[in-house]
A and B are shown apart, each in its own frame.
Chain A
Amino acid sequence: MEQSERAEDILEAVWIAVIEEGDNSASLEALDIDSHDPALLDLECQALIELKGGRVYLRSEGRMAGEKVVRRHRLAERLMMDILDLKGSNANAKACEFEHLLNEGVDTRICTLLNHPTTCPHGRPIPPGECCRTARSSADIGVVPLTEMKVGDAGEIAYIATSDTKKMQKLMSLGVLPGNHIRLNRRFPSFIFHVGNSEFAVDEQLAREIFVRTDAAD
Chain B
Amino acid sequence: MAGQSEVSAADRKIVLVGNPNVGKSVLFNALTGTYTVVSNYPGTSVEVSRGHCEIEGVYYEVLDTPGMYSLLPITEEERVAREILLQENAHTIIHVIDARNLERMLPMTLQLVEAGLPVVLLINILDEAERKGMRIDIPLLQEKLGIPVIGGAMARKRGLPELRQAIASYNPEVKAVFGYSRELERDIAKVSNLLIGDYTLVPRSIALLLLQKDEDAWQLVGKAEKGNLQTIEQAVNDTIYERRMDLNLRISLERKRICHALLEEVIHEQTDRKLTFFEKLAEWTINPWTGFPLLVAVLYFGVYVFVGKFGAGTLVDLLEGGLFEKFLNPWVISLVHGLTPWVWLQELVVGEYGVFTLGVRYAVALVLPIVGTFFLAFSIMEDVGYFPRLAMLVDRVFKKIGLNGRAVIPMVLGFGCDTMATMVTRTLETVRERIIVTLLLSLAIPCSAQLGVIMGLLSEVPGALPVWTACVVLVFLAVGLLSARLLPGERPMFYMELPPMRLPQARNVLIKTISRMQWYFLEIFPLFIFASVLLWAGKMTGALDGLVRFMAPPITALGLPAKTTAAFIFGFFRRDFGAAGLYDMHAQGLLSPRQLTVAAVTMTLFVPCIAQFLMMKKERGWKVSLGIFVLVTLLAFGVGWCLNVVLGFSGWLL
Collect the chain A residues with CB atoms within 8 Å of residue B391's CB.
201
Judged by a CB distance under 8 angstroms, whether B70 is at the interface is yes
Bound: A169/B74 CA distance, A: 8
Determine whether the beta carbon of B288 is less than 8 Å from that of A189: yes
Bound: A45/B392 CA distance, A: 50
Collect the chain B residues with CB atoms within 8 Å of residue A197's CB.
100-101, 104, 132
Judged by a CB distance under 8 angstroms, whether B396 is at the interface is yes
Partner of A203, one of B246, B399, B497: B399
Residues of A in contact with B (beta carbons under 8 Å apart): 165-175, 177-180, 186, 188-190, 192, 195-203, 205-206
Bound: A205/B132 CA distance, A: 32
- Tell me how far the C-beta of B111 lies from the nearest C-beta in chain A, rounded to whole angstroms: 11
Determine whether the beta carbon of B256 is less than 8 Å from that of A192: no
Determine whether the beta carbon of B100 is less than 8 Å from that of A201: no
Collect the chain B residues with CB atoms within 8 Å of residue A198's CB.
100-101, 104, 497-498
Bound: A45/B336 CA distance, A: 93
Bound: A200/B494 CA distance, A: 10
Q: Is the interface of B mostly helix, strand, loop or mixed?
A: helix
Determine whether the beta carbon of B69 is less than 8 Å from that of A173: yes
Partner of A179, one of B100, B256, B496: B256
Q: For A179, A198, A206, which residue has the most chain B Cβ atoms within 10 angstroms?
A: A198
Partner of B493, one of A178, A188, A196, A203: A203
Bound: A123/B71 CA distance, A: 29
Query: Given the interface contacts A177-B253, A177-B256, A178-B249, does A188 sit within 8 Å of B288 by beta carbon?
Result: yes
Determine whether the beta carbon of B494 is less than 8 Å from that of A203: yes
Judged by a CB distance under 8 angstroms, whether B72 is at the interface is yes
Determine whether the beta carbon of A190 is less than 8 Å from that of B494: yes
Judged by a CB distance under 8 angstroms, whether B248 is at the interface is yes
Bound: A202/B399 CA distance, A: 13
Determine whether the beta carbon of B256 is less than 8 Å from that of A169: no
- Tell me how far the C-beta of B77 lies from the nearest C-beta in chain A, rounded to whole angstroms: 13
**Which residues of B in the span 383-411 have a Cβ within 8 Å of any Cβ on A?**
388, 391-393, 395-396, 399, 404-405
Determine whether the beta carbon of A195 is less than 8 Å from that of B104: yes
Determine whether the beta carbon of A172 is less than 8 Å from that of B104: no
Determine whether the beta carbon of A189 is less than 8 Å from that of B393: yes
Determine whether the beta carbon of B287 is less than 8 Å from that of A169: no
Determine whether the beta carbon of A172 is less than 8 Å from that of B395: no
Partner of B248, one of A168, A196, A199, A202: A168
Determine whether the beta carbon of B256 is less than 8 Å from that of A200: no
Query: Given the interface contacts A177-B256, A190-B392, A201-B392, does A172 sit within 8 Å of B248 by beta carbon?
Result: yes
**Which residues of B in the span 477-499 have a Cβ within 8 Å of any Cβ on A?**
491, 493-498
Nearest 6 Cβ contacts at the A-B interface:
A173-B69, A175-B104, A203-B494, A201-B392, A199-B498, A197-B100
Bound: A199/B393 CA distance, A: 15
Bound: A164/B70 CA distance, A: 17
Partner of B101, one of A167, A189, A196: A196
Judged by a CB distance under 8 angstroms, whether B193 is at the interface is no
Bound: A189/B391 CA distance, A: 11
Query: Given the interface contacts A196-B101, A198-B497, A199-B497, does A190 sit within 8 Å of B395 by beta carbon?
Result: yes
Collect the chain A residues with CB atoms within 8 Å of residue B287's CB.
186
Bound: A190/B282 CA distance, A: 14
Bound: A186/B405 CA distance, A: 16
Determine whether the beta carbon of A173 is less than 8 Å from that of B70: yes
Q: Considering only CB atoms, which chain A residue lies closest to B396 in the complex?
A: A189
Collect the chain B residues with CB atoms within 8 Å of residue A171's CB.
495
Determine whether the beta carbon of B495 is less than 8 Å from that of A206: yes
Bound: A92/B391 CA distance, A: 36
- Tell me how far the C-beta of B232 lies from the nearest C-beta in chain A, rounded to whole angstroms: 21
Given A175-B101, A201-B286, A203-B495, 17 new contacts (CB under 8 A): A165-B213, A167-B493, A168-B246, A169-B72, A170-B69, A172-B252, A173-B69, A186-B286, A189-B392, A189-B396, A190-B494, A192-B392, A197-B104, A198-B104, A201-B405, A201-B495, A202-B495
